[in-house]
Amino acid sequence: MDKIVLITGATSGFGEACARKFAANNYDLIITGRRKDKLHQLSEDLRSKHEARVLALNFDVRNKNIVTTNINALPKEWQKIDILINNAGLALGRDNFEEASIDDWDAMIDTNVKGLAYVTKAVLPFMIDAGSGHIFNIGSISGKEVYAQGNMYCATKHAVGALSEAMRIDLLKYNIKVTAIHPGAANTEFSNVRFKGDADKAAKVYEGLKPLVAEDVADIIYYCAGLPAHVCINDLVVTSTQQANSFYSFKKI
Ligand code: NDP
Ligand code: 8X3
């Protein structure tokens, strides 16, 4: 058995790119997401291209009972999870605070914060038993600075930053590394989800900009994961060269 990586939200974007990167480098993969057909296609593709061992778990990270049941039921040979990539997440809407939808807020809090915590709690006993592990939490540049109409999304990503710091302190005694990765704008399905399928609005986010692509983030995570046992990158911000911070990008339009 090679090393095992569990990736949440592997059906597109950063999660899928991580699955491809780790599979190409002989990791065994546990991939998760809600879209069963995409999980199935990815599993088949990884098996055929890399001869990777792939286990697909189809669950919604918001459902704590299902998360716990799925992870507790992992077959013995899949329990020694070396790396957990807490990537599943989303933004919904880009509205002023007073106009934003409370349902959108609930979905972001439940996915980006509570879902991340449920998955981590379920995986931790395996890492503690093994005496090692590496947890990656995908935050965001919006977890560093708040931008206009970003209210609850930015708050959830600030929470990911805080939870990463908290995990790092509490899990140090178990020899578990915690790395928070905070990307800037990246062209994935993210904006399409945020704007609920409005392709024009989604495309505008990246107009005049050469944004990050999912593979950039996967390469960075893979690099961090490969550092010697005594080295941990704790907190990493990455943006495209045209983006200075959460709200200033130099757009050539
Ligand atoms: P994508 O929309 O391409 O991917 C999001 C992934 O999360 C999908 O695989 C989706 O799978 C999964 N997901 C969403 N909700 C749930 C849920 N309730 N349960 C299980 N899986 C879920 O976006 P990105 O790859 O860009 O986003 C990945 C992470 O990176 C997110 O946390 C996002 O906030 C963060 N991020 C994105 C940036 C960007 O500009 N793109 C920049 C900074 C951070 P499925 O729909 O099949 O469940
Ligand atoms: C996604 C990047 O800048 O839209 O987290 O918040 S941003």
- Report ipTM (2 d.p.): 0.99
Cβ of 111 below 6 Å from ligand 1 = yes
Q: Which residues contact 189 (CB under 8 A, 6 or more apart)?
A: 12, 13
Proportion of the chain above pLDDT 90, given as a percent: 98
For the segment 4-19, the average pLDDT, to the nearest whole number, is 98
Average pLDDT along the chain: 97
Strands 176-183 and 83-86: unpaired
Ligand 2 atom at minimum distance from 246 CA: 3
pLDDT given for residue 156 in this prediction: 99
- Residue closest via CA to ligand 1's atom 25 equals 13
Task: Measure 149 CA to ligand 1 centroid, in angstroms.
Answer: 19
Task: Write out the two tokens for 3.
Answer: 């090393």
pLDDT confidence band for 125 (50 / 70 / 90): very high
At the second CATH level, the architecture of 4-238 is 3-Layer(aba) Sandwich (3.40)
Cβ of 188 below 6 Å from ligand 1 = yes
Place of tokens 């990777």: 52
Domain boundaries, the chain: 4-238
For the segment 133-137, the average pLDDT, to the nearest whole number, is 99
pLDDT, tens digit (0-9, with 9 covering 90-100), for 175-232: 999 999 999 999 999 999 999 999 999 999 999 999 999 999 999 999 999 999 999 9
**Active centre residues (catalytic):** 153
Q: Is the pLDDT of residue 169 over 80?
A: yes
pLDDT, tens digit (0-9, with 9 covering 90-100), for 39-82: 999 999 999 999 889 999 999 999 999 999 999 999 999 999 99
Distance CA 29, CA 82 (A): 10
Cβ of 243 below 6 Å from ligand 1 = no
pLDDT confidence band for 1 (50 / 70 / 90): low
Calculate the alpha carbon distances from 183 to 50, 51, 220 in Å: 27, 30, 10
pLDDT confidence band for 127 (50 / 70 / 90): very high
